[in-house]
C-alpha cells in the first residue's frame, strides 16, 4: 500500500493549529491497537479521560471516524494517526470487527447505493459510534473518492438512514445540506483564524516575559525597581493583552513577596525560575507530550470552555469533600473545594469565583460525600467540574489519612508532573508541635511547618489537645495550611475564609 507523505496529511488539516495539536500525540506510546491495511489505518489514543478514543481513517476514500467529542474533522487524533502511519510506525494487520464494519459500509456507499442500513451503533467499545466526516483526497495522493470523482460520504448513520442527493436534500429547518456545510465551514474557519491569532499573541507575550526575566537576572534582585509595584503591574498588563492571564496573576502575586520577609530573595528567585520554565514550555507546546502540553497551556492562561470539559468522559465516583480554602486574586475571590474519590483515591479541585457582591459556591459541604460525575480539565491537572449528581450528599464522611512521609510522597508525585503548582492537598494523622518559633504538624516520620493563626490555629490546638488528629491541608512552598479536622462524627472546617465585606452571603 502507498503511504501518504506528511505534506498530504497537513493538506487535509482544518488549520495549522490542528496539526500542532496533533503532534504531541504522534508517538506509539500514546496509542494502542495500531494497525493498517491497503484501505484504512486505525488505533486507540490514550487521552486524559478514562476511556481511549477509537480512531479510524479511510486513506483511500479519505474519511475519518473518532469517538472523541471534537466537532472538527479530521480531529487531532485522526491527524496524529495519519502522521504515525506516514512515518512507518503503524504495523500492517487485519482490521478488527468495528473497523471492518465501517469499511464495508463505505464500500457499499461507493458502489452507488443511495439508501442503506448503517453499521451497528456500537463500535465494540460499548460507546455509540460517532458520525465521521469526508474530505477530498490530499493533493498528490493519486486517489479518487468514488467513481464520480467527488468526495463520497462516510456511510455511517442511524439504521435505516437516507443519503442525501448530490445537490443537497432540503432539511426540516429549510436549509439545504450543502448550504449548511458552507455556513459551518465558514464558522469553523473563523474560529480557527481566531485561535491562530491568539496563539501568536500568547507566543509573543511569552517571548517578552522571557526577555523581561533576562533583564531581571542581569540587574539582580537588589534592583530598587523591584520594590515598585508598577514594575510588576506593567508586565502583568502586557501578559493580559497577550492572552496569558494566569501568568499575569502570578506576576501580581509575586510583587507582594518583595520585602515581605527577611529571606524574600529566595522566594522571588524560585518564582522567577518557574516563570522562566513556563515561558519556555509555552513556546514549545507542539513538542511536549499531550498531557503535559495541556497542563502548560492551561497554566499559561489558555481558557477551556466549560461546555468542552463537560463533553468529556466523566470520572464517576463517590467524592468526599475533604477541605475548602478561600483566597483573593486581584479583585476576585476564589474558593477551592478539594474532593477525594472513595474508590479511585484521586484528588480533584472544584473552583468557584465571585466578584464584588457575588456569592461563592456553597453547594459542597466539608465532611460530606456525593456520588457524582466529575469532568476533568485537559492534562494531569486536578481541576474538574461537577456534572450529574447521583443522589443526595451524605454525612459524615472523611478521606483516608496516612502519615506525613506518605503525604509528602503523594505531594511530590503531583509536583513532578506539574512543578509550578503552588497548592497540593493531602490528609494526614498528626499531632501539633512546636519547632522554635513556629507550630508544626508532626509524627514519627517527620514534621511540616504550619501556616495558621487566629481562630483556625486555636481550633486546631483545642481539638487536638496534644494527640494526633486527622487533618486535611494544602501544601504550599511556604508551609502547610490546615483546612479541616476530621472527627468520627463530623468534620470541622477551619480553612481560610472569604472576606465577608467583599462577598455577600448566599
Residue-wise DSSP of 22-42: HGGG-SGGGEEEEEE-SSEEE
Q: Could you tell me which residues are beta bridge partners of residue 433?
A: 440
Residues above pLDDT 70, as percent of the chain: 79
pLDDT at 159 over 50: no
Please state, as a whole number, how many other Cβ atoms lie within 10 Å of the Cβ of residue 225: 11
- What does the pLDDT average to over 453-463? 91
Mean pLDDT confidence for 183-204: 66
Contact 451, 480 (CB under 8 A): yes
pLDDT at residue 140, rounded to an integer: 35
Q: Which candidate, 369, 371, 399, places its Cα nearest to that of 387?
A: 371
294, pLDDT greater than 90: no
What share of the chain in percent tops pLDDT 90? 42
Cell of 116: 442503506
**How large is the average pLDDT for residues 408-431?**
93
Identify how many contiguous H helices and E strands the chain contains and give both numbers: 12, 16
C-alpha cell at 138: 490530499
Is the pLDDT reported for residue 118 higher than 60?
A: no
3-state helix, strand, coil in the chain (%, to 5): 35, 25, 40
- When pLDDT is cut at 50, 70 and 90, the band that residue 190 belongs to is low
pLDDT at site 157: 33
Q: Residue 244 in contact with residue 301, Cβ under 8 Å?
A: yes
Burial 478-493 (b: 16+ CB within 10 A, else e): ebbbbbbbbeeeebbb
Q: Which of 145-149, 173-177, 371-375, 497-501 is predicted most confidently?
A: 371-375
Q: ∠ CA 202-204-207 to the nearest 5 degrees?
A: 110
Contact 337, 350 (CB under 8 A): yes
Contact between residue 444 and residue 403 where contact means Cβ atoms under 8 Å apart:
yes
Q: How many CA atoms lie within 13 A of 384 on its CB side?
A: 27
Q: What is the mean pLDDT of the chain?
A: 80
Looking up cell 450543502 gives 178
The grid coordinates of residue 338 equal 478539594
Amino acid at each position: 500500500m502507498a503511504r501518504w507523505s506528511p505534506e498530504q496529511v497537513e493538506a487535509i488539516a482544518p488549520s495549522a493549529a490542528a496539526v500542532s495539536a496533533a503532534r504531541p500525540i504522534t508517538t506509539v506510546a500514546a496509542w494502542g491497537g495500531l494497525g493498517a491495511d491497503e484501505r484504512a489505518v486505525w488505533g486507540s489514543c490514550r487521552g486524559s479521560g478514562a476511556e481511549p478514543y477509537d480512531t479510524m481513517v479511510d486513506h483511500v476514500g479519505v474519511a475519518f471516524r473518532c469517538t472523541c467529542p471534537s466537532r472538527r474533522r479530521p480531529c487531532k487524533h485522526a491527524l496524529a494517526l495519519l502522521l504515525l502511519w506516514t512515518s512507518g510506525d503503524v504495523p500492517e494487520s487485519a482490521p478488527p470487527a468495528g473497523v471492518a464494519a465501517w469499511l464495508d459500509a463505505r464500500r457499499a456507499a461507493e458502489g452507488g447505493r443511495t439508501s442503506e442500513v448503517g453499521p451497528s451503533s456500537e463500535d465494540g467499545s460499548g460507546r455509540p459510534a460517532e458520525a465521521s466526516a469526508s474530505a477530498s483526497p490530499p493533493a498528490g495522493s493519486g486517489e479518487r473518492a468514488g467513481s464520480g470523482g467527488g468526495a463520497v460520504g462516510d456511510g455511517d448513520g442511524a439504521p435505516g438512514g437516507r443519503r442525501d442527493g448530490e445537490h443537497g436534500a432540503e432539511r426540516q429547518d429549510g436549509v439545504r445540506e450543502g448550504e449548511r456545510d458552507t455556513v459551518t465551514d465558514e464558522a469553523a474557519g473563523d474560529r480557527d483564524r481566531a485561535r491562530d491569532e491568539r496563539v501568536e499573541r500568547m507566543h509573543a507575550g511569552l517571548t517578552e516575559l522571557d526577555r523581561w526575566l533576562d533583564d531581571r537576572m542581569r540587574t539582580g534582585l537588589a534592583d530598587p525597581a523591584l520594590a515598585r509595584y508598577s514594575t510588576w503591574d506593567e508586565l502583568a498588563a502586557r501578559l493580559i493583552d497577550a492572552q496569558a492571564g494566569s501568568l499575569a496573576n502570578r506576576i501580581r502575586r509575586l510583587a507582594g513577596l518583595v520585602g515581605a520577609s527577611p529571606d524574600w530573595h529566595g522566594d522571588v528567585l524560585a518564582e522567577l525560575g518557574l516563570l522562566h520554565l513556563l515561558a519556555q514550555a509555552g513556546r514549545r507546546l507542539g513538542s511536549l507530550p499531550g498531557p503535559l502540553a495541556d497542563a502548560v497551556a492551561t497554566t499559561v492562561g489558555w481558557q477551556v470552555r466549560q461546555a468542552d470539559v463537560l463533553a468529556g468522559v466523566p470520572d464517576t465516583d463517590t467524592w468526599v469533600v475533604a477541605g475548602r480554602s478561600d483566597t483573593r486574586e486581584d479583585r476576585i475571590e476564589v474558593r477551592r473545594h478539594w474532593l477525594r474519590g472513595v474508590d479511585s483515591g484521586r484528588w480533584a479541585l472544584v473552583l468557584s469565583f465571585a466578584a464584588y457582591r457575588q456569592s461563592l459556591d456553597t453547594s459542597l459541604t466539608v465532611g460530606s460525600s456525593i456520588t457524582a460525575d466529575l469532568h476533568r480539565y485537559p492534562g494531569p491537572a486536578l481541576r474538574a467540574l461537577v456534572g450529574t449528581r447521583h443522589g443526595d450528599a451524605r454525612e459524615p464522611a472523611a478521606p483516608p489519612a496516612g502519615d506525613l512521609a506518605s503525604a509528602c510522597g503523594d505531594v511530590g508525585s503531583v509536583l513532578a508532573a506539574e512543578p509550578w503548582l503552588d497548592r497540593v492537598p493531602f490528609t494526614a494523622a498528626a499531632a501539633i508541635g512546636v519547632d522554635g518559633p513556629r507550630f508544626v504538624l508532626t509524627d514519627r516520620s517527620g514534621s511540616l511547618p504550619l501556616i495558621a493563626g487566629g481562630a483556625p490555629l486555636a481550633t486546631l490546638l483545642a481539638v487536638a489537645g496534644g494527640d494526633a488528629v486527622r487533618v486535611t491541608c494544602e501544601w504550599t512552598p511556604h508551609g502547610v495550611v490546615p483546612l479541616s479536622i476530621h472527627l468520627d462524627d463530623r468534620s470541622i472546617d477551619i480553612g481560610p475564609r472569604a472576606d465577608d465585606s467583599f462577598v455577600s452571603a448566599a
